[in-house]
A and B are shown apart, each in its own frame.
Chain A
């Protein structure tokens, strides 16, 4: 059974701080990794994709991947109240696979 684990939170950070969200996965052969943001009552929105070990930056967001440790993280710099949402980690097993396995999400609250 392929699993994706996240701390459910809530994770509370003050405005302007760095929020760090973590995710581990069980399938060592997994190839691609995604972070989705989901506001309450809304649909998941893709915010970051990462496929290679190391860091990938996009604006205030940095995704970090360590395949040896089966670990992927999302850093949000200069957190804003509008970043308050549930963040879902999703993992694709391999090239050619259509499957995404989602974690249960981490709820982030950014306190003004």
Chain B
């Protein structure tokens, strides 16, 4: 199936731990994103990578570090987890070649719960 996939789907962890979320897309897109959706369902961009280069870095704590080993993968590492980090994290991808309009396609999400 062509899609954006994320692992894990659920992540439950203790405050202070370090965790990673992985994202992969096989759509041939050149741009990938991390979004956070809070308990009020507001979807907010965190980071964006284009061809492995960071192009958007919104105001997020530096405990969050994205890494893009290649243009099909974008991982998110979170250090020293806090209660307020509990949310659903979505990965998305789009292509900037052939279309100027940036249609983004989302992965299934990772529900992070920090206890």
Contacts and interface: CB of A to CB of B under 8 A. Distances in A.
Interface stretch (A11-19, A37-45, A53-61): A37-45
Contacts of B31: 98
A51 B99 CA distance: 11
A64 to B, nearest CB: 17
A25 interface: no
A97 B90 CA distance: 20
B101 A51 contact: yes
A14 B114 CA distance: 40
Interface residues of B, number: 25
Chain A: number of interface residues, binned into ranges: 20 to 34
A88 interface: yes
B105 interface: yes
B101 A32 contact: yes
Contacts of B41: 38, 86, 104-105
A43 B33 CA distance: 14
Contact of B106 (A45, A51, A86): A45
Interface of B: 31, 33, 40-45, 48, 50, 55-56, 90, 94, 96, 100-109
15 contacts: A32-B102, A38-B41, A42-B109, A43-B90, A43-B109, A44-B43, A44-B90, A44-B106, A49-B103, A51-B101, A88-B43, A92-B101, A95-B100, A98-B94, A99-B56
